[in-house]
Structure 1
Amino acid sequence: AFQVGENLAVTPGKVIYRNSLMELIQYSPTTENVYAEPILYVPAWIMKYYILDLQPSNSMMRWLVEQGHTVFAISWKNPDKDDAHLTMEDYRTLGVAEALDVISAVVPEQKIHTVGYCVGGTLLTIAAAVMAREGDDRLQSVTLFAAQTDFTDAGELRLFIDEMTLYWLDQQMKRNGFLATKQMGGAFSALRAPDLLWQPMLRRYCLGEDSAGFDIMSWNADGTRMPYKMHSDYLRQLYLKNELAQGKYVAGGRAISIGDITVPMYIVGTTADHIAPWQSVYKTRNLKKLGETTFCLTAGGHNAGIVSEPGRPRRSYSVGSWDQNSGYQSPEEWQAAAQAHEGSWWLNWQVWLAEHSGSERSAPPTIGAPDKGHYVLCDAPGTYVLQR
């Protein structure tokens, strides 16, 4: 029922850059004038980027373009055994850093709003901390969707993460060069077995119901592989040892601190998230000690809470902000004091983006930067997203 490029991931755009790890999509403008500051979306590499570009009715990429934003998105390569050597540092440098360089060529002398989803948000936070340490001031803001930076209470996924399990995974990945799609998908399904395993089997095999599903389920079935080295380091350094929260995680040759990040940050957690519990997502507030931070808690799970477009019924969210002079609040204290709203949190975030952008609008930039070697390579959604 769903095909990428036909009725999924159909927001018009062009691939303007490709390297061995990612393609960079620039979406086509639909407004006469746009905000000066572009947006870069950094997706998780665990699944494919188009969770935020499903159908036109619920595509965040399309919606942002319609609000007058110039939007870029990373689409990760689906790695194979030849990519076993790739590390988290490769994802930072070949992914986030090179994407920022290309965007700076397309929209020169403009700061950039950045958005990271799930582990893409963790990677974006690492990249932002490196940039802050090195005095790179190209970021206008950082937004994190269901992304963890402190893994002390990282939810039910920790059931699968201990030294014995990681040793077993390492042996599996060494032989193949990657973690297979079915292994990753099976772990996530096991966390919600009644909803993701038993109910679908009951409906299909006992009741004979059609299993065509819907767009998020189709996206969920379109899995990716994990490179051996990257995935091993990610699970050990972040989940098991919690090095990022402790200021021990090394990127760019030295340990980094989230406390160095000063740009405004908007953090989104979801009430029913079994992958990144909102109380865990909230902890970034305690690690980012400088500048303004906003936390938004929205109804729903890890995916449906984020894909919560305006007009969808039974949507609600709570939101609150603080700066470095604000006192500590536990997640429960914050929730009790936060202002509650009916409707989509996207609208609140758009107001926040507008408030943290320049007041002047201008004509949209060109697609790509041909004068700097960044040509249109193909239409969106590109080629990497189609890899099986």
Structure 2
Amino acid sequence: MAAAKKSTVARALAEFSDFNLKLARGQQMLDRIKDEHVEIATADKEVVFREDKTTLYRYKPTAERTLGIPVLVAYGQIGRYTMTDLQEDRSMLRNLLALGVDVYAVDWGSPTRSDRWLTFEDYIDVYLNDCVEFICREHGIPAINLLGICEGGVFSLCYAALYPERIKNLILTITPVDFHQDQAEGRVNHGLLNLWTRGLGEDDIGQLIEANGNLPGELMSHVFSQMTPGATLSKYNVGLLDTFDDEKKLLNFLRMEKWLTDRPHHPGEAAKQLLVNLYKNNELIRGEFKLGGRTVDLKDICMPVLNVYAKDDHIIPPKTTQALGDAVGSDDYREIGLDGGHVGVFVSGKSQGVLGKGIVEWLRERDDA
């Protein structure tokens, strides 16, 4: 018994010593890491168009271009487009460039209280439309390929329905369409954003926007963190600790944290449209969503559509995305379901070479420029 007790104590002391050594190595790595080591969205690009706070980037080619029609990437207002180029080896944009795509991306900037009255109409009819028009003029073409992500996918759906002549092919990724299908699969940990929003009264949302002028980025960060409370509580001890044996893993962790904490404010009126008209009233799939007096009819989307969803997406559950198949007017509609969660389909090691390759192969089949 005494020997067994000594052995247990020895193992405990050894584990404690290893733990302290790991902490020391981690501290040394953190001391060496500077801000420039954690930069994100570093793919070579240039500003080609700017309007108010909206900036259009064109990325420098890294391979011979093999597609005749350029792709415009549109992210939403809840996060930043920089997630699509998190780091060199985890970048959807770099993967597209490596496969010969001419890539543009729109950055909505950092809205302030002065942008409180900007609406979906401003972002779709003005900013997004002007970016599309610029690209068409630049290339001497009537239409482009549009790739929308999350809320940017909603922008892209609305734009394609209202300006179908300007879109040759429409690609959507992790895009909500039927905002009330969040519980369709019976997965209780999915769709909490939808449930939270439906639990708010329209007056509650109005007062929230009135008090802040916008939908605060800090509030949305808190809402998203509470969707996975266990992971949120453990990532700075268990998750961070697991990276202390590998500086590359630590840098991956820090880059993701940098993106997560850089969440812009959402312009107030546009936020009300998102939360009330779409999340609460589900007007998009019902054919009742109006922009500038025009109804966004998904049946007007007759160009080829590729719809990509994440099988384990707890923020945009698969069924909310897959509802698009029965709603669009296109005869050329395809879905791709990828393993992973909402952000994982863009930044995980598994998805690299799958998402970009799938998009480009689909585009090549339809590229006659």
Both proteins in one fold, TM over 0.5: yes
Cα distance in 2, alignment partners of residues 42 and 158 from structure 1? 22
The yes-or-no answer on 1:62 pairing with 2:94 is: yes
Match of 2:262 among 218, 222, 225: 222
**TM-aligned CA deviation for residue 167 of structure 1:** 2.4
Match of 2:316 among 276, 279, 294: 276
Contact 1:2 / 1:215 at 8 angstroms: preserved in 2? no
Conserved in 1, the CA contact under 8 Å of 2:160 and 2:166? no
Q: For residue 17 of structure 1, report the CA deviation from its aligned partner.
A: 0.9
Change (3 A) 1:284 1:214: same
Greater shift after overlay, 181-190 or 153-162? Answer: 153-162
- What's the TM-score, normalizing by structure 2? 0.81
Closer, same or farther in 2 for the Cα pair 1:255/1:77, shift >3 Å? same
Q: Percent same amino acid at aligned positions? A: 26
| Whole-Å separation in 1 of the counterparts to 2:76 and 2:37 | 19
What amino acid does structure 1 have at the position aligned with 2:361? Answer: V
| Structure 2 match to 1:162 | 198
Which position in structure 1 is the counterpart of 2:3?
Answer: none
Output the TM-score relative to the length of structure 1. Answer: 0.77
What residue in structure 1 maps to residue 69 of structure 2? 37
Match of 2:363 in 1: 353
What's the CA shift for 1:6?
7.0
* Cα separation, partners in 2 of 1:165 and 1:199, compared to 1, 3 Å: farther
SS in 1 for 2:285: coil
Does the CA contact (< 8 Å) of 1:46 and 1:225 recur in 2?
yes
CA contact (8 A) 2:71 2:144 kept: yes
Q: Is the 8 A contact 2:306 2:335 kept in 1?
A: yes
Q: Which residue number corresponds to residue 121 of structure 1?
A: 153
| Mapping of residues 130-279 of structure 1, within 5 Å | 130-132=162-164, 137-154=165-182, 155-162=191-198, 164-195=200-231, 197-203=232-238, 213-279=253-319
Deviation, structure 1 residue 73: 0.2
Superposed CA deviations along residues 28-63 of structure 1, whole A, max 9, x for unmatched, are 122344421000000111111111111111211122
Distance in 1 between residues matched to 2:87 and 2:307, nearest whole Å? 24
The one-character-per-residue Cα deviations of 1:148-190 (angstroms, maximum 9, x if unpaired) are 1111223221221136454223213212211222111001111
Q: Identify the structure with the greater helix proportion.
A: 2
- Which residue of structure 1 aligns with residue 122 of structure 2? 90
Q: Structure 1's 216 and 6: CA in aligned 2 closer, same or farther, altered over 3 A?
A: closer
Offset from partner CA, 1:238-286 (integer Å, 9 cap, x none): 1111111111111242112101111111111111111100121100011
- Corresponding residue SS for 1:93: helix
Does the 8 Å contact 2:198/2:279 carry over to 1? no
1:15·1:24 contact (CA, 8 Å) conserved in 2?
yes
Residue 208 of structure 1 and its aligned partner are, at CA, apart by: 11
Q: Assess, with a 3 A threshold, how the Cα gap between structure 1 residues 3 and 101 changes in structure 2: closer, same or farther.
A: farther
Bigger mean CA offset, 224-233 vs 113-122:
224-233
Aligned partners of 2:159 and 2:365: how far apart in 1?
24
Ranked by relative contact order (alpha carbons within 8 Å, sequence separation 6 or more), the top structure is 1
**Structure 1: gaps of 5 or more residues:** 317-342, 361-388
Deviation, structure 1 residue 100? 0.3
Bigger drift between 10-19 and 161-170 goes to 161-170
Distance 1:43 1:169 in 2: 23
2: distance between equivalents of 1:148 and 1:285? 12
User: Which one-letter code corresponds to 1:71 in the other structure?
Assistant: V
> How far apart in 1 are the matches of 2:310 and 2:262?
23
3-state secondary structure, aligned to 1:306: helix
Gaps of at least 5 residues in structure 2 are 1-32, 183-190, 245-249
CA distance in 2, matches of 1:32, 1:203: 44
Aligned 8 A contact 2:72 2:147 in 1: yes
CA contact (8 A) 1:21 1:91 kept: no
User: How many angstroms does 1:306 deviate by?
Assistant: 3.0
Q: Secondary structure at the match of 2:263?
A: coil
Q: Distance in 1 between matches of 2:35 and 2:159?
A: 33
Aligned-residue offset at 1:88: 1.0
Matched residue count: 323
Partner Cα separation in structure 2 for residue 345 and residue 204 of structure 1 = 26
Query: Does the aligned pair in 1 maintain the 2:345–2:355 contact within 8 Å?
Result: no
RMSD across aligned positions (CA):
2.5
